């Protein structure tokens, strides 16, 4: 009788099967971890404190950098998708400006609060990584308040860019702001501003404590809960846009209000939450790349 342990083919098959089982378990664990952590972010932004905070902000309307982006790069006769519309801060004013607006947010309490104030505006509950809209449905997409940085893992963030590309018409434009990892770079410090040094020190201390020094995701504490937040430098963000099928148009800063709306290049690259503006690349360029 042949001992199966002596058969080299069976041994190879056994090792392959064992490896597949391990990889499958790792994949399941990763999906569960993503689901849990993403749910944490959604739970944070669905809390009563968060919804109330966003509802209060709705009275402020568009921020200075948002208004600059829209005035310079969007035309007022288009169909605009407002991703991460929250309680309707941006949505309401965009409608007032003459856009045909559709809002979407992943938080049901946020959408419910927005619907209470915007009864005539179509608002959807949904995820930016799986937008429930047909191809080429919109002329413009606005993803404000760093909303893209709360998608996890990074693949979901990249998928959101691809989805935005899909729902935009040829020549359509997207604008979003994001946490800039270079903001906490030594060269971004204000030499005579003690608070600037203290802020950078605390940021790095938290990253070390949370074990996120080598990750683009950092744990942030907010008054209405903790979030896992994505940080990216401008050069890497430009590459992500290009890979998703966009042509980069501009970066607009927002530090200190109007003084940073159109800063010289050095400052905008170290801005805390720069706005990125991009346009859908020609389809033939995408297909050939």
What are the helix (H) ranges across 47-177? 48-57, 64-73, 89-96, 108-117, 154-167
Please state the pTM of the whole predicted model: 0.78
Q: What is the pLDDT of residue 183?
A: 82
pLDDT tens per residue, range 18-49: 555 544 443 444 344 434 445 788 888 899 99
**C-alpha to C-alpha distance for 71 and 77, rounded to whole angstroms:** 12
Q: What is the pLDDT of residue 284?
A: 42
Q: What is the pLDDT of residue 22?
A: 44
CATH 2.10.109.10 fits 48-183+218-288, yes or no: no
Q: Of 55, 51, 65, nearest to 91 (Cα)? A: 55
Residues forming beta bridges with residue 230, ordered by sequence position: 217
Domain boundaries, the chain: 48-183+218-288
Q: What is the pLDDT of residue 271?
A: 85
Residue 252 near residue 277, CB atoms below 8 Å:
yes
Q: What is the pLDDT of residue 27?
A: 42
Chunked into runs of 10 residues, the chain (289 residues) has average pLDDT values of 55 58 43 50 90 90 94 93 97 96 97 96 97 98 96 96 98 97 66 59 68 74 82 97 97 62 62 94 56
Residue 135: φ, ψ to 5°: -60, 145
**C-alpha to C-alpha distance for 205 and 97, rounded to whole angstroms:** 44
pLDDT tens per residue, range 201-212: 666 677 667 666
Q: 268: buried, middle or exposed (CB in 10 Å: 19+, 13-18, 0-12)? A: buried
Residue the block writes with tokens 């020609």? 282
Q: What is the pLDDT of residue 33?
A: 42
Residue 62 near residue 95, CB atoms below 8 Å:
no
Beta-sheet strand order (sheet of 179-180): 179-180, 225-232, 217-222
């Amino acid at each position: 009788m042949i001992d199966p342990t002596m058969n080299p083919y069976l041994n190879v098959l056994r090792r392959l099967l064992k490896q597949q089982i391990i990889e499958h378990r790792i994949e399941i664990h990763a999906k569960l971890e993503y689901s849990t952590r993403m749910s944490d972010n959604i739970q944070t932004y669905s809390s009563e404190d968060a919804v109330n905070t966003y509802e209060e902000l709705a009275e402020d309307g568009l921020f200075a950098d948002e208004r600059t982006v829209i005035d310079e790069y969007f035309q007022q006769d288009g169909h605009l998708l407002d991703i991460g519309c929250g309680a309707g801060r941006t949505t309401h004013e965009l409608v007032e400006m003459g856009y045909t607006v559709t809002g979407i947010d992943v938080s049901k309490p946020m959408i419910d609060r927005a619907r209470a104030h915007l009864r005539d505006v179509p608002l959807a509950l949904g995820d930016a990584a799986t937008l429930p809209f047909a191809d080429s449905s919109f002329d413009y997409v606005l993803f404000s308040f760093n909303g893209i940085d709360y998608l996890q893992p990074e693949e979901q963030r990249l998928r959101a860019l691809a989805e935005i590309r899909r729902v935009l018409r040829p020549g359509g434009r997207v604008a979003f702001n994001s946490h800039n990892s270079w903001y906490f770079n030594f060269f971004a410090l204000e030499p005579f501003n003690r608070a600037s040094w203290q802020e950078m020190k605390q940021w790095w201390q938290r990253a070390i404590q949370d074990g996120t020094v080598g990750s683009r995701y950092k744990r942030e504490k907010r008054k209405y809960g903790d979030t896992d937040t994505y940080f990216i430098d401008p050069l890497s963000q430009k590459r992500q846009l290009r890979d998703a099928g966009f042509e980069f148009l501009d970066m607009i800063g927002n530090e200190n209000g109007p003084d940073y709306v159109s800063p010289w290049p050095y400052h905008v690259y170290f801005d805390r939450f720069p706005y990125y503006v991009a346009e859908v690349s020609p389809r033939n360029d995408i297909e050939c790349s």
